[in-house]
Chains A and B, each alone.
Chain A
Amino acid sequence: MHINEILFWFLTALALFSAMMVVFSKNPVHSVLWLIMVFMAITGHYIIMNAQFLAIVNMIVYAGAIMVLFLFVIMFMNLNAESEPQKSKWMKFAAVLSGGSLMLILIAALKDNDGFISSMRGEGSIGLIKNLGKVLFTEYVVPFEISSILFLSAMVGAVVLAKKESSTIVS
């Protein structure tokens, strides 16, 4: 077995196991920590695919920044088994049904995709920072700029909301 293959199966098992644990953990903080493990495993997958830039950005943005905010919120909410709101039986049934159909669609979409498998061999170079940057700033420059404006407006919106809150408290 090639070393990439061993790593692939190890990371896949790790990602799936951690994803299961996210759902099955009783403690929400544990769930967040398992979710970080999922992101780490996916980072490993990106590295196998020779997409180092994506790997490290995945680690900084998802595992680093976003999960820290999740952890912040959950640590302050002081959730535990007693205060957990119990969903009704029908709600749980609907959740299983919708989740299951999403999984079915994903499996159907990825089942016959050969490009997906071949990129696992670590031969592609599109994920390297130079190539990605060139594509992003020539072919996809308009969507790139539009999405950055979207982020900017979100940022401004957050600041406006925060300002409003504090001014009412002061007055």
Chain B
Amino acid sequence: MITMDLLAIDLAYGLEKLLLIGGIITVSLIVAMYTTYAERKVAAWMQDRRGPNRAGPFGLLQPVADGLKLFFKEEIIPLTSNKTLFVLGPALAMVTAMLTSAVIPWGSSINIFGRDVSLQIADVNIGILYVFGVVSMGVYGIMIGGWSSNNKFSLIAAVRGASQIISYELAMGLSLIALLMMTGSLSLKTIVQQQMEGGWNIIYQPLGFLIFLICVFAECNRTPFDLPEAENELNFGYHQEYSSMKLGLYLFSEYVNMFISSAVVSTLFFGGYDIPFVDEAALSLSLGANTVALLGFGALFAKILFFLFLFIWVRWTIPRFRYDQLMDLGWKKLIPLALANMLITALVILWLNK
């Protein structure tokens, strides 16, 4: 009887997590889909054009039409390519883009039928390191895709992309060390809770935030760091030989990456699901804990949408770097800056604790 009970609890727990994972993946995909639409609309707005406006009201069905087009196109696998790896590349890109969402706290817990359901898939005590681990895996999607295409432009683009991601990972890690020295925890949930009490981290770490943001742009291969897909030099970049939905997955994983990294930036520096200027504990007494949790999720979502807009805004404002400029910025400017930031933070913490 006891074992049956244990099994039942485990089943409910598993079901709860499964539903959460499904929900988060669905939301990420839908947001990524509409980011492509937003990108075109915002670009049009900035360049005084109309943008997509034929499919559905205000062109809202445009991403659906694009997706269907990609699905129905002919699937071409080049004869000289390495077939297994050619298929593995886009799959890996998509999977690694999604994996990070597991440790992000999407909200505090909500209460359904007497069960406290945490809106975070896994609250591991190495949360932020897990993010780094998955990011470092993301290189393989690009490299495998570029190499297995058996095309020199793809290979050059893949190597560019990989070396760019590795270079900026360093500055990213160093800029975060300063933040971690302040919080004293690697768990993203703890970091959010500390920010709810003591103010957002952006106030204490403006330089760290700036470095982190620049590195996020580079990790996502977004302009001004989109060297791997520089059309004028490399035709189409590492996914040149891809067609149909495999190309779609590569393009799509970029947008999923943008969404997830916006979530990471909001969580680390902008209080995550913290509603600004509001005391959540007092509010939950008058509105109920569930409503406040949902409002918190809304607040996080608003922050994410702002960062997605920032990504698009920067893309249509700043031209692309040259490759040596990119490496210069990463190695000679951002890393020393991040180190200085780390030292200053350490000194201030020592001085305050004395």
Contacts and interface: CB of A to CB of B under 8 A. Distances in A.
A56 interface: yes
Nearest to B137: A64
A75 B159 contact: yes
B162 A57 contact: no
A60 interface: yes
Task: Using C-beta atoms within 8 Å of the partner chain, give the interface range for chain B.
Answer: 20 to 34
Contact of A68 (B129, B132, B139, B155): B139
Contacts of B140: 36, 68, 71
B95 to A, nearest CB: 13
A53 B85 CA distance: 30
Nearest to A30: B85
Interface of A is mostly: helix
B228 to A, nearest CB: 14
Interface in A52-78: 52-53, 56-57, 59-60, 63-65, 68, 71-72, 75-76
A136 B139 CA distance: 31
Given A59-B133, A129-B186, A64 B125 contact: no
Interface string B312-341: 000000000000000000000000000000
A59 B126 contact: no
A105 B197 CA distance: 56
A60 to B, nearest CB: 5
Closest 4 CB pairs between A and B?
Answer: A64-B136, A59-B133, A56-B129, A52-B126
24 contacts: A27-B82, A29-B82, A29-B85, A33-B144, A36-B140, A52-B124, A52-B126, A56-B129, A56-B132, A57-B129, A59-B136, A60-B129, A64-B136, A68-B136, A68-B139, A68-B143, A68-B162, A71-B162, A72-B162, A75-B143, A75-B155, A75-B159, A76-B159, A128-B125
B276 to A, nearest CB: 31
A53 B15 CA distance: 28
B130 interface: yes
Given A68-B166, A75-B159, A129-B186, 20 more contacts: A29-B147, A33-B144, A52-B124, A52-B126, A56-B126, A56-B130, A56-B132, A57-B129, A60-B129, A60-B132, A63-B137, A64-B133, A64-B136, A65-B166, A68-B140, A68-B143, A72-B159, A72-B162, A76-B159, A129-B126
A76 B124 CA distance: 38
